[in-house]
Amino acid sequence: MSDRQQKNSSTRTVNNLDDLPSPYLSGVFDLSEVKSVEIIMARGCSQNCSYCAIHESPLRYFSFERIRDEINYIADHAPHLKEILVTVADMYENVPLGEKVLPLLKKLAEERKIRVLFYVNVSTLSHDSVVRLSDCEYFDVEVGIQSLNPSVLTTCHRLPDPEKIKYNVAHLQQLAPRASIYLGLIAFLPGDTQESYWATLDWAISTRANVSVNHLRIIPGTELYDRCTARGIKVSPDYPYFVTATDKMNEEEVFSVSRLTTQIFFTLKAVSQSPFLNEEFFKLAAASKKKNPHTALAAMLARLWIKNTETVKIFEAFVRGFEQTKSLDHDLRTNYISPEDIACLEEKYRLFKPYLSK
C-alpha cells in the first residue's frame, strides 16, 4: 500500500458516505493518461428488483460538495478524458442532488466533448425538473425497462404498468431530445413467453432509442435465485450464471431466441450506422401490417443478408465479434461495422427491397 492509499478496515454499513476517503481527492490515481473514469454518487438502492443484489445495502448518497470536488479534480487532472460513468441506481430519484450535479456534468461534457453515462429508473421519468437537465448531446441516459409483460414485472418487483412505461419513455425523449437514450431489456425473465419477449423488443425498437438486451443472469443469493428451482429455471453453474432454460422456454427455445436476437441486432447495428438504411427500415416497418413489424423486418433483412455470399461474411464477422465479448448480451454500442461493409449491405438491400414489402 502506498503512502497515499487509505484503508477502510470496517465492514459495517457506512451511513455518511463522505466518511469514506476519496481515491480521487486523495491523489491515489494518476489520471494523466486515462480516457474513462467512474464517479460514484451513491451506494445501495431503494428498489428491490428480485434479480439484483445492489439493494442489499440501503441507498445512501455522497454529498453534493464531495461529488462536485471530485468532478472538478477529474476535470483538472485528466486531460485526455473521453467518458465518465456516473454510478447511481437512479439519477432522477434524488431531485435536489440531481439538479445540482447534472448542470456540472453538462458543462464539463460540452466544454470537453466528454460522454457521460448514467442510469435512471423508468418510474422516476416524471420528475420533470431534473429530467430536463439531461438534455445534452453528450449524455447517455440508460433506462432499465426489462419487459413489458406485467406479470414478469411483478415477479421482478418492477413497475408493472406497460402503458406508464411507454408514456414515461416518450416523456423522457420529449424533455431531453438531444440525449442518447438507451433502453435496457432482459431476456429470459421468469414468466416471459416468446410472444411477450418479441412484443417488448418490437416496442423498444419502435421508439428509435438505442436498445440493449441482457441475457438474464441469476446471481446466487438473490431472491430470484432462491425461487428459480421451484419455477423450473435452469442456470449455468458458474459465473456469470446465465439462464439456460426458463419456466416458459426450454433450452432449445432459449438458444433459438438468443440466436434470432443476434440476427436482429445485426440489422439494428447496420441501421444505426447507415442513415439510408435507418430511413428505409423505419419507413418499411411503419407501412407493414405484420405483428411486431420491427423485429419481423429486422429478422427478414438479416436472413437475406445471411443468404447472400458477400454479405454473409459481414454477418459472420459480426457474430465473431459478439462471441469475443464472451457475453450473451446484445448491445448496439459494440461490434462496429466498417464503412465498406455498410456500403455493401446498402447495395444488397436495394436488391432485396422488392421482397421486403411483400
By CB under 6 A, name the binding residues for ligand SF4. Answer: 45, 47-49, 52, 54-55, 89, 121, 144
Residue with Cβ nearer ligand SF4 (184 or 293): 184
Residue with Cβ nearer ligand SF4 (75 or 122): 122
Residue with Cβ nearer ligand SF4 (43 or 294): 43
Residue with Cβ nearer ligand SF4 (45 or 216): 45
Amino acid found at 124 = T
Burial (CB count <10 Å: 0-12, 13-18, 19+), residue 100: middle
Residue with Cβ nearer ligand SF4 (331 or 341): 331
For the chain, the distance separating the N- and C-terminal CA atoms, rounded to the nearest angstrom, is 67
C-alpha torsion angle, residues 334, 335, 339, 340 (rounded to 10): 180
Tell the smallest beta-carbon distance from residue 233 to ligand SF4 (Å). Answer: 18
Tell the smallest beta-carbon distance from residue 256 to ligand SF4 (Å). Answer: 27
Tell the smallest beta-carbon distance from residue 300 to ligand SF4 (Å). Answer: 34
| Closest among 217, 216, 189, 184 to 201, alpha carbons compared | 184
Tell the smallest beta-carbon distance from residue 195 to ligand SF4 (Å). Answer: 24
Residues in CB range of 340: below 8 A, 6 or more apart: none
Tell the smallest beta-carbon distance from residue 90 to ligand SF4 (Å). Answer: 6
Are the beta carbons of 270 and 337 closer than 8 angstroms?
yes
Are the beta carbons of 216 and 186 closer than 8 angstroms?
yes
Strands 115-121 and 83-87: parallel
Strands 139-146 and 234-235: unpaired
Tell the smallest beta-carbon distance from residue 219 to ligand SF4 (Å). Answer: 11
Q: Quick one: DSSP state of residue 19?
A: G
Residue with Cβ nearer ligand SF4 (48 or 250): 48
The three cell numbers locating residue 149: 409483460
Tell the smallest beta-carbon distance from residue 44 to ligand SF4 (Å). Answer: 8
Residue with Cβ nearer ligand SF4 (56 or 316): 56
The three cell numbers locating residue 307: 443468404
Strands 42-43 and 330-331: unpaired
Tell the smallest beta-carbon distance from residue 126 to ligand SF4 (Å). Answer: 16
Residue with Cβ nearer ligand SF4 (157 or 208): 157
E strand segments, the chain: 36-40, 42-43, 60-61, 83-87, 115-121, 139-146, 180-187, 210-215, 234-235, 243-245, 330-331
Residues in CB range of 300: below 8 A, 6 or more apart: 356
